[in-house]
Structure formats: C-alpha cells, structure tokens
Structure 1
Amino acid sequence: MKIIIIGGGKVGTKISEKLSLEEHDVTVIEKNTDVINKIKVHQDIACINGNGINYEVLEEAGASNADLLIGCTSSDEINMFSCLLAKKIGAKKTVARVRNPELHNQLNYIKDDLGLDMVINPELVAAREMSRILRFPSAIKVEPFAKGKVELVEFKIYKESPLAGMAMNQIAKKFRINVLICAVQRGEKVFIPNGKTVIEEKDKLSIVASHEELEYFLKEIGGFRKVIRTVMIVGGGKISYYLCKTLEKNNINIKIIEKDLNTCKNLSQSLPKVEVIYGDGTDQQLLEEEGLEEAEAFVSLTGIDEENILLSMYANTKNISKVITKVSQSTFQNMVYNFDLDTVISPKDITATIIVRYVRSMNNSYASKLNSMYKIVDEKIEVLEFTVNGACQIVGKKLKDLSIKKDLLIGCIVRKGKIIIPNGNSTIENGDDVIIVTSYLDILDIDDIIE
C-alpha cells in the first residue's frame, strides 16, 4: 500500500518504521531537515522536506493515489487539515492524531466533515491501558479481546510462585482451569510454550482467559493483589488528565504532583475530585510527605524518561502494589528489563500498533475481519483477533486435522458469547471470534495460520 505520514517526530518515526517493515510504500513529510536526515539514517523510505498542509507538497508525495494518509505532527489542527486536504486531492483513507481534550470531545460531530476515517489519541489510549492494569494490579499488561469477554494478561513469576519449576502439562492437571499460557519471556528470549515447557523464576507469562477465570487462577497461584484504591501520579500532562477521567467512576483516590503552577490550576478546575499538589515530584521528601508509602499504585508520567525510570525504581523500594512507568525513547525501552520495572507503557508504540492494525484490516480478504492486534513481550509476539465468515477455508475442520504453522497458537474461540479454550477436536465456525498468538508478523487473515 502507498502510505503518506505527515510529521517525522517520535510517533511518526515509529509508525513509518513498523509500516516499512511490513513492506508498504511509505513517504514521510517533515519540515525539519535534521529530523529527515535522522530518519534516513535508520530507514529506507522516501522523505520530503515540506509542510503537510501545502497542496504542492502533498501532490509531490503522491496524495492523489495514496491508500492512506496519517497526520501525526505535534499540531492537532495541522493533522486534521492535512487529512481534509489529502482527501480532497484523492487519498482513499485518512487518520489524524488528535490530543487536545477539547478538540477530541468534538470530533464525533465533525469527523465526517473532515474526511477522517480514524482518529487516534495516544494519551487517551495509554490512559485506558493504564486503567485496565490498575483494575487488575497483578498484571504487567492487560489487553481486551472479543468486546471485553476475553483478556490477555502478562504477569511475572516470582520465587515463591507455585508455578516455578512446573511443566505446562502439570499446570493444566493441577489447577483444572480454563486458561491458556500462550507466550513466555525468559530474559531476552521469547517463545510460545508447549506441554513440556518448564516455568522458571522471573519468567513473564502471557495468558488468555475470561476476567473471572484470570482472577481465580491468580488467586490460586498466590499472585492476586488487592483492588487499587489510592493512586499517586507524578506529572500532570495529557495522559494524567485522561487517566484521571478514566478512573473517576471507580471510587479511586487520586493525587497528582505537578511542578508547573498553571498546569496545576487547570487540572484542579477540570478534575475537581482529584487532589492536585504543586511541587517537584522528583523530590524524595515531598513524595514521602504526600504519602508515597501509603499509596497502593504509583504512576510516573513526567515528560522525561530518566525521571520516570528513577521515580519508579524508588517507588519499588516502598513495596507499592502497582508501579507504572511511561517511557518514550526506544533506547530506554530496550533497557527497562534490566531495571526490573513492573509495567512500562509507551504511547508512541501503542499508537503505531493501532495504525498497523488498521492498515492490515484494510488488506483483509473476505474470509475474516481483523478486529484487534496487540504486540506483547517486547513486541516479538503478536496477538490477533479475527471474526470468521463462511468463506474461510478452515471452517468446520478439526484443529488437529489442520497443518497449522509452528510457533502459532489458537488461543481462544468465542462463539455466541461462550469462551472456548480449544483442543485438537475443536473447530472454527462461521461467526466465531478467534484469537491467534504467533511469532509470525505477517498474519493478515485467518487462513494465513495454515502452512
């Protein structure tokens, strides 16, 4: 597909990187020549120095025959206008990044007028992911599938865990529970386990099941933590705002520490139920005075990765139930495993994954529809959800009779609201929602699971 990206910042660069790896024809339009030169060093894609709201620049980039244009500059207005102009020129689909809460709340009324096929808000998406994790504090990561009926959870194996030293087939016999362990991260190694795989201390497991089954399983293995009721957030940016709005209905006491006085005033007005503290969140004495040790969750959301990492490492020494760290730079993301941080979230990575999912859905055949796509365990494993229709080649056939690719699992089948953890005798039927776990990064359709 021919894809044009307006803006070569962190988000635009990450999106272009992922899409070019999937062999799309990608062009980036960027005003800053230094940014363009940096992109060219790391990516073999076309770059145009110019303004994305300039008609001639869009024509030069090939907007008239583009399959997709993505506006992701730091300006919401430029992103929306570039999409509008590109649609007028002839671009088939447009996606705009819109971060301002005031603009985002109005988009339902003007989305069609602007010719927007999709609007994405990285901060809102990141906040929703954080809220799911705070609802399920035992988890490192929580992703919903099949309209929330199924969840994929990542969690860590500690020394005292009864799973340490157990083989997969032993786990199934002992706990007799309807969950599937679908991926294991061991140090830098990531793999899809089989029945003989033995769980080790410090492994990170990814499991698929209903929320109720997951809660029961984690209680059985001693890894379930109490519900979060008090949260301390350092940093009062957009993610903090959206996180508080997401949590406000859950009866959670929230405290934000922010060092910019105007930001504090704005947050106090827009979030009347949240306690906003004016001060430097990196000040250890201030954190202790404001009750860090009594907090059940700590979220570091400053604009500086180094601060977030150090704050989270300090919070970990206080035995807080859940610590969440925002990291933007890829350099730090590659190092966080060594810091032994609990949950690390990158808004730009989340955004890029959503865009890739959207692009893949544009390529879908008539056999299935791609509903969801998440990358887990350092983005080395993909979890995909397809809705199957009658044109699919594998409908009605037993899984044991299919030549399914190695390093690929059918994690779950949802049929008329019922969750099925499949075995060899299971079949995939018309209308099923099927969740696939795979190390292959080129699965575009349910039929692609076959060798």
Structure 2
Amino acid sequence: MKIIIIGCGKVGSALAEELTMENHEVAIVDISAQKLQEVGEDLDALQIHGNGSSINVLMDAGVTSADLVIAVTGSDELNLLCCLVAKNLGKCHTVARVRNPIYNKEINLMKESLGISMIINPEMATAAEIARLLRFPSAIKIDPFAKGKVELLKFRLKPEFRLDGKSIVEINMKGKHNILVAGVERGEQVFIPNGDFVLQNGDLVSILASPKNASAFFKSIGLKTNQVRNCMIVGGGTIAIFLARMLLEMKMRVVIIEQSKERCELLADLLPDATVVNGDGTSKNLLFEENLENAEAFVALTNMDEENILLGMFAERMSHAKVVTKVNRVAFDDITDELELGSLIHPKYITTDRILQYTRATQNSIGSNVETLYHILDSKAEALEFVIRENSSVVGVELKDLRLKNNLLVGCINRGGKVLIPRGDDCLMVGDTVVVVTSQKCLRDIEDILEK
C-alpha cells in the first residue's frame, strides 16, 4: 500500500519503521527538518518537509494515489484537519490520533461527518490494556485474537507450579488442557517449542487459549485467575482517569494518589466513587498508610519513568499486588526487561500496534491476508491471524501433511466461534480464523507458512 504518515515523533517514526519493513511505500511529512533527518537515516521512505494540512505538501507526498493517511502530530486539531484535507484530495482511508478527552463523546460524530476511518486516543487505549491485565492478573501480557475469543497470555514459570523439567507433551497429556504453548523466552534465547521441549523455572511462557481454557489451566497450576477487587493508582493523569472509570465499572475499589492539590480536586469531581489522596506517591509512609500491603493491584502512572520504575519495584517487593508499570521511553527497554516490574506498559507501542492492526485490516480488504499481527517473545517472533479463503492450498489438508516452515506453529483455529487447539489430524477449512506463531518474518499470507 501507499501510506502517508504525518508527524515524525515517537509513534510516527515507529509506524514508518514497521511499515517500511512490511514493504509498504511510505512517505513521512513533518514540519521539523531535524526530525525528518534523524528518522531518514535509517528508513527507506520519502521525506516531505512541511505542514501536513497543506494541500501542496500533501500533493507532494502523493495523496491522490495514497491508500492510507495517518496523522499523529502533537496537535489533535491538526490531525483532524490533515485527515479532512487528505480525504477531500484523494480516496484514501484516514487515521487520526486524538488525545484530548473532551473529544471522546464526539468521536463517532467526527468519524461520520469528517469521513475519518479511525480515531485513536492513546491514553484510553493504554487504560483499556491495563484493565484487561487486571481482569486476568496472573498474566504479564495479554494479546487478543479472533475478537477476544482467543488470547496469547504470557506468564513466568515458578517452582510452585511444578512444571520444571516437564516437556510440552507431558503437560498436555497430564492435564488434558486445551491450550498450546506457543513460545518460551529463556534469558536471551527465544523458542517456538515442539512437543519434546522441556520447561525450566524462570522461563517466560506464552500460551494460546480461549479465556475459559486459559483460566482452567492457570487454576490447575495454582495461579490466581479472578480479577482483582481493589487497585491503587499512583499518578492522576489522563490514563488514570480513563482507567479508574473502567475499574469502577468492574466494581473494583480504586485509590488514586496524586501530588497536585488542584489535580486532586478535578479527580474527585470526575471520579466521585474513587478515593483520591493528595500526597507524594513515592513516599513509603503514605503508600503503607493507604494499605499497599493489602492492595490486589498497583499501577504506577506518574509522568516520570524513573518514578514509575522505582514504584513498580517497591510494590513488587512489599506487596502481593498485580503490578503494572508505565514506561514511556523505549531507551529503558534493556534495563526494564531485567527488573521485577510486573507488567510493563508502553503507551507508544500500544498506539502503534492499534494503528498497525487497522493498517493490516485495510490491506486485507485490498488483497493481503493478515487480520492481526503482534510482535511477541521480545519482538523476536510474530503471532499472526489469518482468514482461510476458498482458493487456499492449505484447505482440507491434515496439518501433519503440510510442509510447514521451521520455527512455526499453527497455534489455534477459530471455527464458527469455537476455539480449537489443533492436532496433527486436524484440517483447515474455508472461513477458519487461524493464529500462527513464528520466528519467520514477513509472512503476509497463509500460503507463506509452507516450505516452497
């Protein structure tokens, strides 16, 4: 596809990097020549210096033949205007990042009246991701497939689970669990395991299963499966407001600690059912006064990565809470991956992933076959969702007879709403939704799983 990205910040540059890797024709527009120069050193993309709402600039970027325009500048209004102008100049799909909560109730109206295909609020998307984790606190990370009917859940193997030294086959035979171990991270190594693979304590294990079957498996090994009943949030920003609303709807008790008195007054007005505490969330005394040791969930959402990292480590050490730590700067990845911070949340990645999912769905409508794609296992593997079409050569062939590429698993099949963990004698049928896990990069069609 031909894609124009307006805005060359963290999200814009990440999108450009990913989309050029997927062999899309990408043009990047930004008003800052310096930002374009920094990104352009590593990307094979057309660079246009100028205002993305300008007709001349968009024409230079090729808007008349573009399939998709993505506006992710720092201004909500500019993003909306860019999409409006692009839509009128060409026949493209448009995506706008809109952060101000004041627009939330107007999103559907804006999409209809302005013809914008997708509007994403990064803070709301981040809050929804955290809320999903608190529904299933045993998982470090959860990625949904087949509209939530299948999930990829990551957890760390501990001695009390009694799975150390067990092979994948042994686990499946003993428990008869309808799950599939899709990937294992062990130190710097990443594995797409076969049945003979042996697990070790400390492994980060990713399983594919329906929410019901994942819950049954976690219960069988002694992991907590019920959603948390109370949550302590440090930091009263926009993400905290969205998250608190979601948690209150889930009947959780919510405590928010915020240092700014003025902000606390706003939080109390917006969230009358939450407990709002004015104080320094990094104070150990205050955290214990607010009953940290009995909290079932702890979410660090301050505006400083360093504070969030320290808070996450402290909560992991001093409580049994499900800990979620927000980190904005990607430069910390190598450090944070080695620390006990619970579930790490990167708003930039979440926003980028949502936009990429829409991009792939758009591509699917004009010829591609990827419904959903996630980078998993420390970005060294991919989990892809395909829909099986009538003309596919994999239809009706038993999986054991397919010549699959190395380091690739057919993880699960969604057939008419029923989730199947496939065995060797299962076949793929027309209309099936299939999740494939692989370390092979750039699979774009179900046919690509086969050796040529």
Corresponding position of 2:402: 402
Query: Structure 1 pair 340/226, CA: closer, same or farther in 2 (3 Å)?
Result: same
Whether the aligned pair in 1 keeps the contact of 2:3 and 2:24 (CA below 8 Å) is yes
**Deviation, structure 1 residue 56:** 2.0
Whether the aligned pair in 1 keeps the contact of 2:294 and 2:321 (CA below 8 Å) is no
Whether the aligned pair in 2 keeps the contact of 1:353 and 1:375 (CA below 8 Å) is no
SS in 1 for 2:318: coil
Whether the aligned pair in 1 keeps the contact of 2:292 and 2:319 (CA below 8 Å) is no
SS in 2 for 1:361: helix
Corresponding position of 2:120: 120
Give structure 1 stretches of 5+ with no counterpart: none
Q: Which moved more, 1:222-231 or 1:109-118?
A: 222-231
**Deviation, structure 1 residue 266:** 2.4
SS in 1 for 2:47: strand
Distance in 2, matches of 1:95 and 1:366, equals 17
Distance in 2, matches of 1:263 and 1:371, equals 41
Corresponding position of 2:324: 324
Whether the aligned pair in 1 keeps the contact of 2:70 and 2:95 (CA below 8 Å) is yes
Give structure 2 stretches of 5+ with no counterpart: none
**Deviation, structure 1 residue 168:** 1.2
Query: Structure 1 pair 259/28, CA: closer, same or farther in 2 (3 Å)?
Result: farther
> 1:18-63: per-residue Cα shift (whole Å, max 9, x none)?
1122222222222233333332344343333322222222222222
**Deviation, structure 1 residue 367:** 8.4
Matches within 5 A, 1:203-214: 203-214=203-214
Distance in 2, matches of 1:204 and 1:15, equals 27
Corresponding position of 2:106: 106
SS in 2 for 1:390: coil
Whether the aligned pair in 2 keeps the contact of 1:69 and 1:91 (CA below 8 Å) is no
1:113 aligned partner, one-letter code: S
Corresponding position of 1:244: 244
1:58 aligned partner, one-letter code: L
1:75 aligned partner, one-letter code: S
**Deviation, structure 1 residue 363:** 3.0
Corresponding position of 1:186: 186
Distance in 2, matches of 1:227 and 1:318, equals 20
Corresponding position of 1:446: 446
1:73 aligned partner, one-letter code: T
Identity of aligned residues (%): 45
Query: Structure 1 pair 371/360, CA: closer, same or farther in 2 (3 Å)?
Result: closer
**Deviation, structure 1 residue 7:** 1.1
> 1:196-216: per-residue Cα shift (whole Å, max 9, x none)?
111111111110112221112
Corresponding position of 1:175: 175
Residue 23 (structure 2) pairs with residue 23 (structure 1): yes
Matches within 5 A, 1:354-369: 354-364=354-364, 369=369
**Deviation, structure 1 residue 243:** 1.3
> 1:209-263: per-residue Cα shift (whole Å, max 9, x none)?
1222111211211222553111111112222122122222211001111223333
Query: Structure 1 pair 444/105, CA: closer, same or farther in 2 (3 Å)?
Result: farther
Residue 416 (structure 2) pairs with residue 416 (structure 1): yes
**Deviation, structure 1 residue 361:** 2.9
Matches within 5 A, 1:49-68: 49-68=49-68
User: TM-score normalised to the size of structure 1?
Assistant: 0.95
Distance in 2, matches of 1:175 and 1:258, equals 46
Matches within 5 A, 1:207-356: 207-224=207-224, 226-356=226-356
Query: Structure 1 pair 50/279, CA: closer, same or farther in 2 (3 Å)?
Result: farther
Corresponding position of 2:77: 77
Distance in 2, matches of 1:387 and 1:46, equals 32
Corresponding position of 1:202: 202
Q: Which moved more, 1:260-269 or 1:424-433?
A: 260-269
2:157 aligned partner, one-letter code: I
Superposition CA RMSD, Å: 1.9
Whether the aligned pair in 2 keeps the contact of 1:368 and 1:389 (CA below 8 Å) is no
> 1:393-448: per-residue Cα shift (whole Å, max 9, x none)?
21111111211222111111121222211011101112212111122231222222
Query: Structure 1 pair 70/366, CA: closer, same or farther in 2 (3 Å)?
Result: closer
Distance in 2, matches of 1:283 and 1:34, equals 40
Whether the aligned pair in 2 keeps the contact of 1:183 and 1:191 (CA below 8 Å) is yes
